[in-house]
């Protein structure tokens, strides 16, 4: 009994230390998306629009199929990949990129279709005639540190436009490096968003020329 009386204060001390122990840091969850366009009023078209909702597929290698935010310290070891411990993507990069590009290209196709209805004149080819598919192979998606204070994001994709039978009717490789304002996860997220915006712009410029002569009818 005396032993328990002697040990009791130490037990209370141990329990108390456990209660006031520092809690683990909260993990920051980031999303990757393009800037939202201003909402426009819905006007029923005078005739059926030919604008198509693009189908975008993005594949990624095994090391990019996670929510981890990758970075590399080139000034230490250019072959070693790291990931932020307290920051994560809300979804895998391939999923976020596919969703963002689908929304962007669908909005552009819809606006071109509305222009044809309002003016009666062609407003350029629809970006992605159905049932064409845009397939992107995500080769790299990382934040690269040249030194402790300077870094950029790197986005590398191979794009293919596929017809209804799945044959590639056009392909192109896109590489974009975007300087980051800050040497941390938040700076990397902002730079990745600008890189995705640049990719969307390049796709908007490339797809009409490829899709113009494509037979995408089922």
E strand or H helix at 111, and its extent? helix 93-119
Stated pTM of the model? 0.77
CA distance 113 to 145: 43
Per the listing, tokens 């040497």 go with: 183
pLDDT tens string 124-152: 445 565 678 899 999 999 999 999 999 99
DSSP letter, residue 191: H
Residues 51-211: name the CATH superfamily.
ABC-type transport auxiliary lipoprotein component (3.40.50.10610)
Percent pLDDT > 70 in the chain is 67
**Structural tokens at position 47:** 């005739």
pLDDT tens string 21-79: 566 678 999 999 998 755 554 444 444 444 455 589 999 999 999 999 999 999 999 99
For 70, list phi and psi in degrees, rounded to 5. -90, 145
Mean pLDDT of the chain: 80
């Amino acid at each position: 009994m005396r032993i328990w009386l002697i040990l009791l204060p130490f037990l209370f001390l141990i329990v108390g230390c456990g209660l006031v122990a520092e809690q683990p840091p909260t993990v920051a969850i980031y999303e990757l998306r393009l800037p939202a366009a201003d909402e426009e009023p819905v006007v029923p078209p005078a005739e059926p629009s030919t604008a198509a909702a693009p189908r975008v597929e993005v594949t990624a290698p095994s090391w990019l199929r996670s929510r981890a935010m990758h970075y590399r310290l080139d000034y230490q070891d250019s072959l070693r990949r790291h990931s932020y411990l307290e920051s994560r993507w809300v979804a895998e990069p391939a999923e976020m990129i596919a969703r963002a590009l689908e929304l962007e290209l669908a909005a552009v196709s819809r606006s071109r279709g509305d222009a044809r209805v309002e003016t009666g004149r062609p407003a350029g080819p629809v970006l992605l005639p159905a049932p064409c598919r845009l397939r992107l192979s995500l080769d790299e998606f990382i934040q690269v540190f040249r030194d402790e204070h300077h870094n950029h994001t790197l986005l590398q994709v191979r794009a293919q436009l596929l017809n209804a039978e799945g044959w590639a009717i056009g392909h192109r490789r896109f590489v974009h490096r975007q300087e980051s304002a800050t040497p941390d996860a938040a700076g990397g997220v902002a730079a990745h968003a600008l890189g995705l915006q640049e990719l969307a712009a390049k796709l908007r410029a490339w797809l009409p020329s490829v899709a113009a002569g494509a037979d995408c009818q089922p």
